[in-house]
Amino acid sequence: MNPQFSVLFLTTLIGAGQGLFLALFTAELGELFGLLPAQDPHWFYMHGSAIAFLFTAGGLAASFFHLGRPARAWRSAARWRTSWLSREVIVLPAFMGVVLLYGIAHLLGLGAALATLPSGVRLGATLALGVAGTLLAFALYVCTGMIYACLQFLREWASPLTVVNFIVLGCASGFALAAGFATLAAPALLRFYAASALGLTLLGFATRAASLVRNARLRPRSTLQTAIGIKHPRITQKSQGFMGGSFNTREFFHGRSGAILRSVKGLFLLGAFALPAFLLAAALSDAPPVAAVAAFAIQYVGLLAERWFFFAQANHPQNLYYQSVA
C-alpha cells in the first residue's frame, strides 16, 4: 500500500494522546490508593490533560488532509453499524471531550466531590471521568486497529497482532510522553513513568517482532496466472496497460525498492524500541532528566517510521496485475 503521511500522523498522535491520558489516570489511581505520591491537580493533571487533548486534536486535524471532500467528513460516521472507520470517527471526539472535562474537573477541584468510602477512598468526578476516558481510549485503539485488521485480503494486516500493536505501541509512546512531562511537572513520578514506558516499549518490541516474523512467512494466495486468468506456467509482464499512472498504481503500491523497506525497518526497530529503551533505562538511574524527553522524541520519530513500514508492507493483490511499467 502507499502510506499517506496524514494517516501516519493521525495514528501516532492520537495513540500518544490516549497513552498519556491513561498514564495520568494511572497516577490518580495510584495516588487514590496511596501507591504513588500526590500531585498538584491544577498543574499536573490539568496541564497533562491539555497536552493529551492537543495530541489527539493534532491527529484529528491531520486526518482532514487525506479526505477528498473535507466538508463531507461528518458523513463518515453514518455507517457505524458495520464500519470500524465510522466507529473511530465517533469514539475519537467522545474521547477528546472526556479528556477536556477531566482536566477541567481537576482545575475545579472536583476530585472529592461525589462521595468517600468508609476506607477513606475518595470517589470524585475525576474518577468517573477517568474510568470513562479509559474505556474510550481502549475502544479507540481497537477501532483504529480494526480498520486495518478487518481487511482479510491484506494478509499482513489481517491478524490480532495488528490491534495488539496499536494498543501497546500507543501506550508505550504515551507513557514515554508522561515521563518527559514528569521531568517538569512531577519529578516524583519520573521513575514510575520511565519504568512503565520501558516495560511497554519492550512488550511492543516483542509484539511487533512477532508480526514481522508472521508476515515474513506469508505466501501469496494469488499468482500472476490467477490475476489475469491465464494458466500458462511462464508469464512475464511487460507493461501495466497504461501510458501513465492511475489510481491503482498510486494508491495501492508505494513504489519503493526492497532496500528502502529494509532500511526503514531497521530505522524503526532502532528508533521505536532500542534507543528509547536505553534512554528510559538511563532515566531510571542517575541520568539527567532530559533523557526521558529524548526517549519520547526519538520513539515518536521511530513510530512514524514503523507506521510507514506497516502500510508499505501490506501487499494489495492487485499489484500482481500492475507490477511493472513498460
Kindly report which listed range (15-19, 105-109, 158-162, 290-294) carries the lowest average pLDDT score. 105-109
pLDDT single digits (tens) 58-116? 999 988 776 666 656 666 777 778 889 899 999 999 999 999 999 999 988 876 666 66
DSSP codes, 191-231: HHHHHHHHHHHHHHHHHHHHHHHHHHT---S--HHHHHT--
In which band, very low, low, confident or very high, does the pLDDT at 311 lie, cut at 50, 70 and 90? very high
Residue 257 has pLDDT above 90, yes or no: no
Q: What is the mean pLDDT of residues 205-211?
A: 97
Q: What is the mean pLDDT of residues 181-186?
A: 92
Report the SS3 class of residue 219. Answer: coil
Residue 25 has pLDDT above 80, yes or no: yes
CA 94, CA 154: separation in Å to the nearest integer? 30
Q: What is the pTM of this model?
A: 0.90
High-pLDDT (> 90) share of the chain, %:
57
pLDDT of residue 326: 41
pLDDT single digits (tens) 117-171? 655 656 678 899 999 999 999 999 999 999 999 998 888 999 999 999 999 999 9
Kindly report which listed range (17-31, 40-54, 251-265) carries the lowest average pLDDT score. 251-265
Structural domains of the chain, with CATH: 5-320 (1.20.1630.10)
Q: Is the Cβ–Cβ distance between 25 and 68 less than 8 Å?
A: no
CA 129, CA 101: separation in Å to the nearest integer? 7
